[in-house]
Structure 1
Amino acid sequence: MRRKPRTSGLWLACALLACSCFAAAGDLDESPRHHVIIIEGMRFNPPTLTVHRGDRITWVNKDLFPHTATANSKAFDSHSVASNASWSYTAHRSGSYAYVCRFHPTMHGNLIVQ
Protein backbone atom coordinates (compact mmCIF):
# COMPACT_ATOMS: atom_id res chain seq x y z
CA MET A 1 0.00 0.00 0.00
CA ARG A 2 1.38 3.34 -1.03
CA ARG A 3 1.07 6.23 1.42
CA LYS A 4 0.30 9.77 0.37
CA PRO A 5 2.77 12.37 1.55
CA ARG A 6 1.60 14.53 4.45
CA THR A 7 1.15 17.94 2.91
CA SER A 8 -2.20 18.99 4.31
CA GLY A 9 -0.67 20.79 7.31
CA LEU A 10 1.83 22.63 5.12
CA TRP A 11 -0.87 23.51 2.59
CA LEU A 12 -3.12 24.87 5.35
CA ALA A 13 -0.29 27.01 6.77
CA CYS A 14 0.48 28.44 3.32
CA ALA A 15 -3.19 29.18 2.68
CA LEU A 16 -3.56 30.99 6.00
CA LEU A 17 -0.40 33.00 5.37
CA ALA A 18 -1.61 34.00 1.89
CA CYS A 19 -5.00 35.08 3.25
CA SER A 20 -3.41 37.22 5.93
CA CYS A 21 -1.14 38.86 3.35
CA PHE A 22 -4.11 39.70 1.11
CA ALA A 23 -6.06 41.08 4.06
CA ALA A 24 -3.14 43.30 5.10
CA ALA A 25 -2.70 44.54 1.54
CA GLY A 26 -6.41 45.32 1.35
CA ASP A 27 -6.17 47.37 4.52
CA LEU A 28 -3.42 49.50 2.97
CA ASP A 29 -5.22 49.96 -0.32
CA GLU A 30 -7.37 53.02 0.22
CA SER A 31 -9.02 54.04 -3.00
CA PRO A 32 -9.51 57.75 -3.56
CA ARG A 33 -12.79 59.02 -2.16
CA HIS A 34 -15.18 61.73 -3.21
CA HIS A 35 -16.24 64.45 -0.74
CA VAL A 36 -18.86 67.17 -1.17
CA ILE A 37 -18.88 70.65 0.33
CA ILE A 38 -22.22 72.45 0.05
CA ILE A 39 -22.19 76.22 -0.41
CA GLU A 40 -25.43 77.51 1.03
CA GLY A 41 -26.55 80.38 3.22
CA MET A 42 -23.22 82.15 2.67
CA ARG A 43 -21.34 79.22 4.26
CA PHE A 44 -19.18 76.27 3.30
CA ASN A 45 -20.60 73.10 4.83
CA PRO A 46 -18.68 71.43 6.31
CA PRO A 47 -16.45 74.42 7.13
CA THR A 48 -13.47 72.10 7.73
CA LEU A 49 -12.92 68.89 5.81
CA THR A 50 -10.12 66.33 6.22
CA VAL A 51 -9.26 64.20 3.17
CA HIS A 52 -6.42 62.05 1.90
CA ARG A 53 -4.12 62.73 -1.03
CA GLY A 54 -5.84 61.63 -4.22
CA ASP A 55 -9.34 62.31 -2.89
CA ARG A 56 -11.68 64.47 -4.94
CA ILE A 57 -13.59 67.34 -3.37
CA THR A 58 -16.62 68.91 -5.05
CA TRP A 59 -18.06 72.26 -4.01
CA VAL A 60 -21.77 72.52 -4.89
CA ASN A 61 -23.26 76.03 -4.95
CA LYS A 62 -26.86 75.99 -3.70
CA ASP A 63 -27.02 79.76 -3.17
CA LEU A 64 -28.74 82.07 -5.65
CA PHE A 65 -25.50 83.87 -6.59
CA PRO A 66 -21.96 82.84 -7.57
CA HIS A 67 -19.17 81.96 -5.14
CA THR A 68 -15.55 80.84 -5.30
CA ALA A 69 -13.44 78.40 -3.31
CA THR A 70 -10.03 80.08 -3.39
CA ALA A 71 -7.12 78.84 -1.28
CA ASN A 72 -5.17 81.56 0.49
CA SER A 73 -1.98 79.75 -0.60
CA LYS A 74 -3.17 79.73 -4.23
CA ALA A 75 -3.12 75.90 -4.18
CA PHE A 76 -6.57 75.88 -5.80
CA ASP A 77 -9.08 78.38 -7.16
CA SER A 78 -12.50 77.47 -8.45
CA HIS A 79 -13.06 80.85 -10.07
CA SER A 80 -16.75 81.73 -10.26
CA VAL A 81 -19.11 78.84 -9.47
CA ALA A 82 -22.61 79.81 -10.62
CA SER A 83 -25.78 79.04 -8.73
CA ASN A 84 -26.72 75.35 -9.02
CA ALA A 85 -23.27 74.54 -10.42
CA SER A 86 -20.28 72.74 -8.95
CA TRP A 87 -16.50 72.62 -9.13
CA SER A 88 -14.15 69.74 -8.28
CA TYR A 89 -10.55 69.57 -7.11
CA THR A 90 -8.30 66.57 -6.53
CA ALA A 91 -6.02 66.93 -3.51
CA HIS A 92 -2.43 66.05 -4.39
CA ARG A 93 -0.29 67.60 -1.65
CA SER A 94 -0.56 67.16 2.11
CA GLY A 95 -1.19 70.26 4.17
CA SER A 96 -3.80 72.55 5.60
CA TYR A 97 -5.40 74.90 3.09
CA ALA A 98 -7.50 77.79 4.35
CA TYR A 99 -9.82 79.09 1.64
CA VAL A 100 -12.38 81.85 1.12
CA CYS A 101 -14.96 83.03 -1.34
CA ARG A 102 -13.31 85.92 -3.20
CA PHE A 103 -16.72 87.53 -3.73
CA HIS A 104 -17.71 87.20 -0.05
CA PRO A 105 -14.56 87.33 2.14
CA THR A 106 -16.52 86.55 5.31
CA MET A 107 -17.00 82.98 3.98
CA HIS A 108 -14.13 80.80 5.22
CA GLY A 109 -13.29 77.11 4.93
CA ASN A 110 -10.36 74.81 5.62
CA LEU A 111 -9.26 71.76 3.64
CA ILE A 112 -6.85 69.42 5.44
CA VAL A 113 -5.06 66.93 3.19
CA GLN A 114 -3.31 63.99 4.90
Structure 2
Amino acid sequence: MRIALTLAMLALALPAYAAGHAVQIKGMKFSPARLAVATGDTITFTNGDSKRHTATALDGSFDTGRLAAGKSATVRVTAAGKHDFKCMFHPSMKGTVTAK
Protein backbone atom coordinates (compact mmCIF):
# COMPACT_ATOMS: atom_id res chain seq x y z
CA MET A 1 0.00 0.00 0.00
CA ARG A 2 2.76 2.42 0.90
CA ILE A 3 4.58 1.74 -2.40
CA ALA A 4 1.40 2.43 -4.38
CA LEU A 5 0.87 5.70 -2.51
CA THR A 6 4.48 6.74 -3.12
CA LEU A 7 4.19 5.94 -6.85
CA ALA A 8 0.95 7.91 -7.09
CA MET A 9 2.56 10.92 -5.41
CA LEU A 10 5.55 10.74 -7.77
CA ALA A 11 3.26 10.58 -10.80
CA LEU A 12 1.48 13.72 -9.65
CA ALA A 13 4.77 15.51 -9.07
CA LEU A 14 6.12 14.87 -12.58
CA PRO A 15 5.86 17.82 -14.96
CA ALA A 16 3.40 17.64 -17.82
CA TYR A 17 5.05 17.61 -21.22
CA ALA A 18 3.73 19.57 -24.16
CA ALA A 19 2.63 17.63 -27.20
CA GLY A 20 3.74 18.36 -30.72
CA HIS A 21 1.29 18.63 -33.61
CA ALA A 22 1.89 18.89 -37.36
CA VAL A 23 0.04 20.83 -40.05
CA GLN A 24 0.88 20.36 -43.71
CA ILE A 25 0.39 23.20 -46.19
CA LYS A 26 -0.38 21.66 -49.56
CA GLY A 27 -2.77 22.40 -52.40
CA MET A 28 -3.39 25.88 -51.00
CA LYS A 29 -4.89 24.33 -47.81
CA PHE A 30 -3.91 23.67 -44.22
CA SER A 31 -4.21 19.99 -43.32
CA PRO A 32 -5.66 19.57 -40.82
CA ALA A 33 -7.44 22.92 -40.90
CA ARG A 34 -8.92 22.40 -37.42
CA LEU A 35 -6.77 21.35 -34.52
CA ALA A 36 -7.48 20.76 -30.82
CA VAL A 37 -4.44 21.21 -28.58
CA ALA A 38 -3.52 21.86 -24.97
CA THR A 39 -2.05 25.16 -23.86
CA GLY A 40 1.72 24.84 -24.14
CA ASP A 41 1.62 22.43 -27.09
CA THR A 42 3.60 23.15 -30.24
CA ILE A 43 2.46 23.06 -33.85
CA THR A 44 4.88 22.61 -36.73
CA PHE A 45 3.65 24.02 -40.03
CA THR A 46 5.38 22.58 -43.11
CA ASN A 47 4.99 24.15 -46.54
CA GLY A 48 4.60 21.48 -49.21
CA ASP A 49 3.52 23.97 -51.89
CA SER A 50 5.71 25.75 -54.42
CA LYS A 51 4.38 29.14 -53.23
CA ARG A 52 5.31 30.79 -49.96
CA HIS A 53 2.77 30.84 -47.14
CA THR A 54 2.29 31.91 -43.53
CA ALA A 55 0.19 30.59 -40.68
CA THR A 56 -0.76 33.76 -38.83
CA ALA A 57 -3.21 33.82 -35.92
CA LEU A 58 -5.75 36.61 -36.29
CA ASP A 59 -5.46 37.37 -32.55
CA GLY A 60 -1.66 37.73 -32.82
CA SER A 61 -0.98 34.67 -30.64
CA PHE A 62 1.32 33.00 -33.19
CA ASP A 63 2.89 33.57 -36.60
CA THR A 64 5.18 31.30 -38.58
CA GLY A 65 6.55 34.14 -40.66
CA ARG A 66 7.12 33.52 -44.37
CA LEU A 67 7.57 29.86 -45.22
CA ALA A 68 9.27 29.14 -48.54
CA ALA A 69 8.61 25.86 -50.33
CA GLY A 70 9.79 22.92 -48.23
CA LYS A 71 10.37 25.00 -45.08
CA SER A 72 8.83 24.52 -41.63
CA ALA A 73 8.22 26.64 -38.56
CA THR A 74 7.12 25.64 -35.08
CA VAL A 75 4.90 27.79 -32.88
CA ARG A 76 3.83 27.32 -29.26
CA VAL A 77 0.20 27.84 -28.25
CA THR A 78 0.39 29.82 -25.01
CA ALA A 79 -3.23 30.87 -24.47
CA ALA A 80 -6.43 28.89 -24.11
CA GLY A 81 -9.27 29.58 -26.49
CA LYS A 82 -10.06 29.57 -30.17
CA HIS A 83 -7.31 30.91 -32.42
CA ASP A 84 -8.35 31.40 -36.03
CA PHE A 85 -5.43 31.65 -38.45
CA LYS A 86 -4.84 32.30 -42.14
CA CYS A 87 -2.13 32.68 -44.74
CA MET A 88 -1.27 36.35 -45.11
CA PHE A 89 -0.49 35.84 -48.81
CA HIS A 90 -3.62 33.79 -49.55
CA PRO A 91 -6.44 34.91 -47.20
CA SER A 92 -8.78 32.16 -48.44
CA MET A 93 -6.49 29.66 -46.67
CA LYS A 94 -7.90 29.45 -43.14
CA GLY A 95 -7.76 27.25 -40.07
CA THR A 96 -8.58 27.13 -36.38
CA VAL A 97 -6.60 25.99 -33.33
CA THR A 98 -8.64 25.42 -30.18
CA ALA A 99 -6.52 25.23 -27.01
CA LYS A 100 -7.67 24.11 -23.57
Larger radius of gyration between Structure 1 and Structure 2: 1
Unpaired segments of 5 or more residues in structure 1? 1-12
- Residue identity in the other structure for 2:8: S
Q: Which runs of 4+ in 1 moved over 4 A?
A: none
Superposition map of 1:95-110 within 5 A: 95-110=81-96
Residue 29 of structure 1 and its aligned partner are, at CA, apart by 4.5
Relative to its length, the structure with more strand (as a share) is 2
The equivalent of 2:9 in structure 1 is: 21
Residue 20 of structure 1 and its aligned partner are, at CA, apart by 3.5
| Identical amino acids, percent of aligned pairs | 33
Computed over aligned residues only, the root mean square deviation of the Cα atoms, in angstroms, reads 1.7
Relative to its length, the structure with more helix (as a share) is 1
Cα 1:95/1:14, change in 2 over 3 Å: same
**TM-score normalised according to structure 1 size:** 0.79
The equivalent of 2:17 in structure 1 is: 31
**CA distance in structure 1 between the partners assigned to 2:55 and 2:39 by the alignment:** 18
Unpaired segments of 5 or more residues in structure 2? none
Contact 2:62 2:77 in 1 (8 A): no
**TM-score normalised according to structure 2 size:** 0.89
